[in-house]
Amino acid sequence: MKINRSPATRPVVVLAVLLTATLALAGCGGSDGSAGTTGSAISAKRCAQNKAAGTVTYVSGYYWQASASILEVIAADRLGYFKDLCLDVKLQPGSGDVSQNTKLLASGRVQVGGLSQQDTMTANANGLRITGISSYSDAGLDILMTMPSVTDLAQLKGKTLGQKGWVPVGVSAMLDKAGIAKGDVKEVKVGYDPTILPRGQVDALVGFISNEPLQLAAAGTPVKVWEPKDFGVPGSLGAFAANPDFLKQHPTAAQDFLRAVFKSYQYCAAPAHVAECIGYQHDKAGAESDPSHETAVWKKETSVVAGSPLPGKFGSIDTDNVAKLAGVVTQYGGVQVDPAAAATWFDNSFSDAVVGADGSVTWPAP
């Protein structure tokens, strides 16, 4: 580039509910992996409303990587879920340039995209109208890596930290909580080769929990991973945002986009379907896709979601987390975000409309 905790038993229970619901729904239109009949999961009236939305363009966060908010969209298309809901969805790859994606969303050139809650806040604070409509977890993907010899982040004082143009707000907040003030480390801009860390060219390296640590582990060089969530820093994972005019003019299409991708996420998170869904991703990404690495990415991100579930319904935005993120973005993101204003930049009604109290996706649509 890329979601107040419940009791420790909740992740296992939630995941079990989601997987059970997924398998129970496997007989519905398109659920078995084959394309369903157009409108097979929707009433004629709702089908007409969704068709009136025209082409709904989705932009990914980073090309066709097997990440949450990307893989399940690819799979929803291949499984026929969009077709089942009379949605004409166009999939457009993003380059990892968040500023470009926010401009596309705000302008209406794309209608829906994967965008972290932090980035949704930053965009709105800078005058771009975007609405966050869902999230899978309050845990983020941004992490800091060190070699295992570092047992306390305070050891980084006077050391070199590699970053790709900026230090994510969550990592900055984590360092601050660990007693590392701005200027205590030397920041250097680096490329995308994580081996600079074990080679000693930097003492710490910013990355994503589902990417660089997996690459290094696969190469036989495990590293120490420092996660902001372990320091009480809020984040978001698998979040979607949309153009506000699209949401206002075509609410059923927006709901049913989430209905399809949530159903797809639950399907692809089931161990029995991972290989199938990675196959869809590989078909989309082409030769640049490494199925082994992409499988590791997907399994890691879904494990983070299962291990740090939302306090509310599956896919629903945690409003307390939004308020906390507003403070983090203000302090470390270079923009002023009023928590009361931030609350208006997110809308839970679309995700709440498609998920039942038990966390299962309502299918067919009402």
The residue ranges of every structural domain in the chain are 10-139+236-352, 142-231
pLDDT at 182: 86
AA identity, residue 148: P
AA identity, residue 207: G
pLDDT at 12: 35
pTM of the model: 0.88
Dist. CA 278–CA 287, nearest whole Å: 13
Question: Span 15-38, mean pLDDT?
Answer: 42
Dist. CA 22–CA 74, nearest whole Å: 17
Q: Give pLDDT tens digits for 304-324.
A: 999 999 999 999 999 999 999
pLDDT at 133: 98
pLDDT at 35: 45
pLDDT at 366: 85
pLDDT at 340: 96
Q: Give pLDDT tens digits for 154-210.
A: 999 999 999 999 999 999 999 999 999 989 999 999 999 999 999 999 999 999 999
Q: Which residue has the higher pLDDT, 57 or 165?
A: 57
Please name which of 223, 210, 167, 219 lies closest in space to residue 190, comparing C-alpha atoms. 167
Domain 142-231, what architecture? 3-Layer(aba) Sandwich (3.40)
What's the pLDDT band for 14 if we cut at 50, 70, 90? very low
Same CATH topology for 10-139+236-352 and 142-231? yes
Q: Give pLDDT tens digits for 204-236.
A: 999 999 999 999 999 999 999 999 999 999 999
Q: Give pLDDT tens digits for 119-155.
A: 999 999 999 999 999 999 999 999 999 999 999 999 9
What's the pLDDT band for 1 if we cut at 50, 70, 90? very low
Checking if the pLDDT of 10 tops 50, the result is no
pLDDT at 272: 98
Q: Give pLDDT tens digits for 254-276.
A: 999 999 999 999 999 999 999 99
Domain 10-139+236-352, what architecture? 3-Layer(aba) Sandwich (3.40)
Q: What percent of the chain has pLDDT over 90?
A: 86
